[in-house]
Amino acid sequence: MFKKLITGALSAAIALGASFTVVHAEDELFIPMLSYRTGPFGGNGTPFANGFHDYLAMLNARDGGVGGAKIVMEECETAYNAQKGVECYEATKGKGALVYNPLSTGITLQLIPKSPVDKIPVLQMGYGLSAAAMGETFPWTFAYPTSYWSQMSSILKYIDSNGGLKGKKIGFIYLDVGYGREPIPLLEKVAPEMGFELAMFPVAGKEMQAQSAQWLNVRKERPDWMIMWGWGAMNATAVKEAAKTRFPLDRFIGNWWSAAHADLVPVGEAGKGYIGANFSGIGTDFPALQDVMKYVVDAGNSQADPSTVGHVLYNRGLYNAVLVSEAIRAAQKITGKTVITGEDMRLGLENFVLDQARLAEIGLPGFTGDVKGDCKDHEGAGGVFLQQWNGSDWEKITDPIPPMTDVVQPLLAAAAEAYKADKPEWKGQVCK
């Protein structure tokens, strides 16, 4: 027993030591993928990771990468766990990582202070710290295409234009972690200004799939509208419970992480009418997605089930990869280099232009709203639209709803100030 253990440990150590060679060839762009296909949120993390991977793999197969340099991806499993996320960060940052897409607010919060030190930007697309939209305070963090607070303001605008907000009661059901609590300051700020009443229904991570208590309270409080900030198994459960308590589903709006195929397919017909926010196109009727099918999925280089290509989260992962590749292109153009560094990538993220013309050029016409990199504004113009579940698929029901910039901006500025208040060493940047 003892001898075997020793031999086993020794041989493992030798195997590990012998294989220590991680050298990247010339002309490669290294993109770490902090994804999660396991754990409580694996069901949602998987399609996102597939979309992200497949788009970049398509660029490699079709164009030979970006600007002549192949993209090398390394997937690291975080299981949505902040400690594992940091481990993945440490394991990949030394290999010339260009940008991190943590896909978890918890991991993002830990990477934000590290990014200026390691000079690798963080792109928190549709999650993370809302205040990171202030480019002058957070030079290394990017929140394209829009932040949670802008999204919430778009949703409120939609409610306002569908029967008004004044005198109404808005229920807010959220996953009780950093992510779910993120929009509360905005809600509390605008509720008195816009004249609506607020009712909060937190759902602890452990109770994601047992929300009867919360929905009992919803029944008691009788809100006119419900807004949800959920993720993973919480979403389907909430829609099912809402249907069970006979809450009108066309007055129940989920944010962009609460309105995917992965969430509503298990609910099916019962979820008909449920509304969700989104900022990335639905379906495969885009030339770029056809290319992804042709070069990657049909070629057997994808982990995705072909029937899930074009689903909400798949396309969002793909959109994240589009932002990354466009920023790389911009960085290559500015610096004139083929192989760029994290610092160049930061410049790229502040200078890329993804307007409708460019979207059409890369094969995604009308896929999403315009996004323009900017030094001051790390958030972009939004492009949040609403979609409705028809029992088997999502249908776009509104055009992009611009956020209430006048309300959100001062809040973002205050939050950014608060972030650096107790960090005297924090370094911002000055924009022209």
Partner 1 sequence: MFYREAGQFKTSYAEYLQALPLREDKVGIAIWLLLAVFYVPFFGLPGLEYTFAMNAIMIPVLIFTITALGLNILVGYTGQISLGTGAFMGVGAYACYKLTTYFPDVNIILIILASGFVSAAVGALFGLPSLRIKGFYLVVATLAAQFFLEWCFIRVEWLYNYNPSGAIEVPQREVFGIVVTGAAASPATRYLVVLGILIFLTIIAGNLVRGRIGRSWMMIRDMDIAAELIGVRPLRAKLSAFAVSSYYCGVSGALMVFLWLGAAEVESFDVNHSFLYLFMVIFGGLGSITGSYMGAAFIWTFPILLKELGKRVFDIDSIIMENVSLVAIGMLIVFILIKEPHGLARLWQLGKQKLRIWPFAH
Alpha carbon of residue 389 to chain centroid: 21
List the alpha helices (DSSP H) in 22-140: 42-63, 82-93, 105-118
Q: Of 294, 247, 316, 233, give the one whose Cα is nearest residue 275.
A: 247
Q: What's the sign of the alpha-carbon dihedral 281, 157, 129, 354?
A: positive
Q: Which residues pair with 386 in a beta bridge?
A: 277
Alpha carbon of residue 237 to chain centroid: 21
Omega into 145 within 30° of 0, i.e. cis? yes
Query: Which run of H or E residues covers position 26?
Result: none
CA–CA separation, 222 and 199 (whole Å): 9
13 or 357: whose CB is closer to partner 1?
13
Tell the smallest beta-carbon distance from residue 113 to partner 1 (Å).
4
76 or 191: whose CB is closer to partner 1?
76
Among 15, 23, 25, 430, binds partner 1 (CB under 8 A): 15
Tell the smallest beta-carbon distance from residue 20 to partner 1 (Å).
5
343 or 393: whose CB is closer to partner 1?
343
Angle between helices 405-421 and 148-161 (to 10 degrees): 150
50 or 398: whose CB is closer to partner 1?
50
Q: Which residues pair with 72 in a beta bridge?
A: 30
Q: Does 178 bind partner 1 (CB under 8 A)?
A: yes
**What separation in angstroms does the CA of 16 have from each of 13, 56, 202?**
5, 30, 46
Q: Does 2 bind partner 1 (CB under 8 A)?
A: yes
Residue with tokens 């993220």: 349
Among 124, 130, 147, 150, binds partner 1 (CB under 8 A): 130
Q: Which of the residues 141 through 160 are near partner 1 (CB under 8 A)?
A: none
Among 44, 81, 237, 255, binds partner 1 (CB under 8 A): 81
Tell the smallest beta-carbon distance from residue 341 to partner 1 (Å).
17
Q: Of 309, 250, 321, give the one whose Cα is nearest residue 282.
A: 309
CA–CA separation, 173 and 209 (whole Å): 13
CA angle 303, 307, 309 (to 5 degrees): 65
Among 23, 25, 26, 94, binds partner 1 (CB under 8 A): 94
Alpha carbon of residue 408 to chain centroid: 19
Tell the smallest beta-carbon distance from residue 394 to partner 1 (Å).
27
Alpha carbon of residue 328 to chain centroid: 19
205 or 283: whose CB is closer to partner 1?
205
CA–CA separation, 291 and 59 (whole Å): 9
Q: Which stretch binds partner 1 (CB under 8 A): 53-61, 320-328, 385-393, 411-419?
A: 411-419
Tell the smallest beta-carbon distance from residue 205 to partner 1 (Å).
8
Tell the smallest beta-carbon distance from residue 365 to partner 1 (Å).
34
Task: Classify residue 211 by burial, with Cβ atoms within 10 Å: 0-12, 13-18, 19+.
Answer: buried
Tell the smallest beta-carbon distance from residue 28 to partner 1 (Å).
17
Q: Pattern 230-269, binding to partner 1, x per CB under 8 A?
A: ----------------------------------------
Tell the smallest beta-carbon distance from residue 387 to partner 1 (Å).
27
Tell the smallest beta-carbon distance from residue 59 to partner 1 (Å).
21
Q: Does 423 bind partner 1 (CB under 8 A)?
A: yes
Contacts of 90 (CB under 8 A, 6+ apart): none
Tokens (6 digits) for 146: 């829009």
Q: Which stretch binds partner 1 (CB under 8 A): 12-20, 214-222, 333-341, 343-351?
A: 12-20
Among 59, 71, 109, 309, binds partner 1 (CB under 8 A): 109
Q: Pattern 18-57, binding to partner 1, x per CB under 8 A?
A: -xx-x------------x-xx-------------------
- C-beta of residue 362 within 8 angstroms of C-beta of residue 385: no
Binding site for partner 1 (CB under 8 A): 1-2, 5, 12-13, 15-17, 19-20, 22, 35, 37-38, 75-77, 79, 81-83, 86-87, 90-91, 93-94, 105-106, 109-110, 112-114, 116-117, 129-130, 176-178, 181-182, 184-185, 205, 415, 418-419, 422-425
